């Protein structure tokens, strides 16, 4: 088992973590990635090495996502076949919790394990608020309720290391991207409760609230932006065709075919960044289902209830947006989408 610790400008708590882990499990390998901390932290890394860690360095700061990928590659090369547990360097993760997450991943071959905080007791407001917002957005866009989407204590089986290095993301957004892409790649997610530990109000965190929040929410924001562009095309053509033909059904169908083409190309190239040769067929199937639902809802809202065309359109799209996102991520553009339904690991989320 390997414990991977990405570190940027750490203090003595990194050395204490290495020492305590090695004392609890002498056979444990601790791999520290110095993410460009500079000469001022040389003594801390020297002490970590003396305590039993292997330390590799980035010449400049490249972000947590890049540091984790460097660690995954180093671990796969230096200790092939070993599972990896990722922990933070600031003392938030106790050795007992690290080892509990490590024990859980030992029995999983295609499941990532999250050490989820309970957020009880004195928790900094920005940490509590940030996790609550991200959790709600994650549920909205995926339909999956994870207790702690921002935890840094995670474990991955050795078989997953290659995939981990392929997922996009260089900084704090990387760990959320892993959760967003897990199901499409056939990986389950298991939760293990851990203690919630914040030292000095979490002052050692290098998370920049505005800039890094934008990076974290970017994967979901890209899909929302793509949907807005498609919606603009859809509504413009809907109004134009309705004026020209007077037929609501013909207008809905014509506008949706055009906007669906725009949406597919945008999502394939800029949102999900992938798509197999059969993704267009799966997307066409999704469009057919959504189109039928769209036309039915529009008829009920506009003809049945007498709502204005714009109001009916907005309500319809809002109701169908989350469904469309979930289906596209899991079954249209997900890796191995054609076999996802029949995978041996159909359950994405499990708590223990």
Between the alpha carbon of residue 255 and those of residues 228, 249, 301, 302, 352, the distances in Å are 14, 10, 18, 16, 47
Look at residue 112 in the predicted model and tell me its pLDDT. 93
**Which residues fall within 8 angstroms of residue 335, CB to CB, at 6 or more apart?**
181, 184, 185, 186, 274
pLDDT digits (tens, 9 = 90+) for 151-164: 899 999 999 999 99
Look at residue 334 in the predicted model and tell me its pLDDT. 59
Tell me which residue of 191, 190, 17, 201 sits closest to 121, measured CA to CA.
201
Look at residue 124 in the predicted model and tell me its pLDDT. 55
Q: To 10 degrees, the CA torsion angle through 134, 138, 139, 144?
A: -130
Cβ distance 36 to 67 under 8 Å? no
Is pLDDT of 248 > 80?
Answer: yes
**Residues recorded for the chain:** 352
Look at residue 326 in the predicted model and tell me its pLDDT. 66
The domains located in the chain, with CATH, are 2-207 (3.90.550.10), 219-338 (no CATH)
pLDDT digits (tens, 9 = 90+) for 316-342: 877 777 677 667 766 677 544 433 222
Look at residue 68 in the predicted model and tell me its pLDDT. 97
Look at residue 349 in the predicted model and tell me its pLDDT. 42
Look at residue 66 in the predicted model and tell me its pLDDT. 96
- Per-residue pLDDT averaged across 8-14, rounded? 94
Q: Is 69 helix (H, G, I), strand (E, B) or coil?
A: helix
Look at residue 135 in the predicted model and tell me its pLDDT. 73
Confidence of residue 150 (pLDDT cuts 50, 70, 90): confident
Q: Is 123 helix (H, G, I), strand (E, B) or coil?
A: coil
Look at residue 218 in the predicted model and tell me its pLDDT. 65
Q: What are phi and psi of 114, to 5 degrees?
A: -105, 130
Is pLDDT of 114 > 70?
Answer: yes
Q: How much is the mean pLDDT over the chain? A: 80
pLDDT digits (tens, 9 = 90+) for 272-320: 655 555 677 888 888 788 878 888 888 898 888 988 887 887 888 777 7
Is pLDDT of 126 > 60?
Answer: no
Query: What are residue 34's DSSP bridge partners?
Result: 7, 57
Look at residue 201 in the predicted model and tell me its pLDDT. 44
pLDDT digits (tens, 9 = 90+) for 174-183: 898 898 888 7
Separation of alpha carbons 164 and 17, rounded Å: 24
Look at residue 103 in the predicted model and tell me its pLDDT. 92
Tell me which residue of 337, 327, 332 sits closest to 186, measured CA to CA.
337
Tell me which residue of 224, 321, 203, 228 sits closest to 271, measured CA to CA.
224
Look at residue 145 in the predicted model and tell me its pLDDT. 78
Look at residue 202 in the predicted model and tell me its pLDDT. 45
Is pLDDT of 44 > 90?
Answer: yes
- Per-residue pLDDT averaged across 244-251, rounded? 88
Is pLDDT of 237 > 70?
Answer: yes
- Per-residue pLDDT averaged across 76-88, rounded? 96
Separation of alpha carbons 49 and 135, rounded Å: 37
Is pLDDT of 188 > 70?
Answer: yes
pLDDT digits (tens, 9 = 90+) for 46-64: 999 999 999 999 999 999 9
Is pLDDT of 207 > 80?
Answer: no
Separation of alpha carbons 217 and 137, rounded Å: 8
pLDDT digits (tens, 9 = 90+) for 96-113: 999 999 999 987 777 899
Cβ distance 252 to 240 under 8 Å? no
| CB neighbour class for 72 (10 Å; exposed up to 12, middle 13-18, buried from 19) | buried
């Amino acid at each position: 088992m390997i414990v991977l610790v990405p570190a940027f400008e750490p203090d003595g708590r990194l050395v204490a973590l290495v020492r305590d882990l090695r004392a609890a499990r002498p056979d444990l390998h601790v791999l520290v990635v110095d993410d460009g901390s500079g000469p001022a932290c040389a003594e801390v890394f020297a002490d970590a090495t003396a305590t039993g860690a292997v330390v590799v360095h980035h010449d400049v700061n490249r972000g947590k996502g890049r540091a984790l990928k460097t660690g995954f590659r180093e671990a796969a090369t230096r200790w092939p076949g070993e599972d990896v547990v990722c922990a933070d360097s600031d003392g938030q993760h106790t050795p007992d919790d690290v080892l509990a997450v490590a024990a859980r991943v030992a029995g999983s071959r295609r499941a990532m394990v999250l050490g989820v905080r309970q957020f009880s007791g004195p928790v900094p407001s920005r940490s509590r608020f940030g996790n609550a917002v991200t959790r709600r957005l994650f549920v909205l866009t995926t339909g999956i309720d994870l207790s702690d989407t921002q935890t840094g204590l995670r474990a991955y089986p050795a078989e997953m290391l290659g995939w981990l290095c392929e997922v996009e993301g260089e900084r704090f957004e990387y760990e959320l991207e892993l959760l967003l892409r897990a199901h499409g790649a056939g990986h389950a997610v298991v939760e293990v409760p851990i203690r919630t530990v914040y030292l000095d109000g979490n002052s050692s965190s290098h998370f920049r609230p505005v800039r890094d929040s934008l990076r974290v929410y970017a994967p979901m924001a890209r899909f929302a932006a793509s949907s807005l562009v498609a919606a603009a095309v859809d509504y413009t053509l809907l109004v134009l065709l309705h004026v020209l033909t007077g037929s609501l059904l013909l207008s809905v169908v014509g506008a949706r075919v055009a906007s669906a083409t725009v949406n597919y190309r945008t999502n394939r190239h800029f949102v999900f960044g992938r798509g197999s040769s059969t993704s267009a067929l799966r997307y066409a199937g999704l469009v057919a289902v959504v189109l039928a639902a769209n036309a039915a809802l529009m008829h009920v809202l506009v003809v049945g209830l007498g709502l204005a065309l714009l109001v009916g359109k907005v309500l319809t799209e809002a109701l169908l947006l989350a469904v469309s996102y979930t289906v596209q991520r899991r079954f249209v553009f997900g890796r191995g989408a054609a076999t996802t339904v029949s995978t041996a690991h159909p359950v994405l989320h499990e708590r223990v």
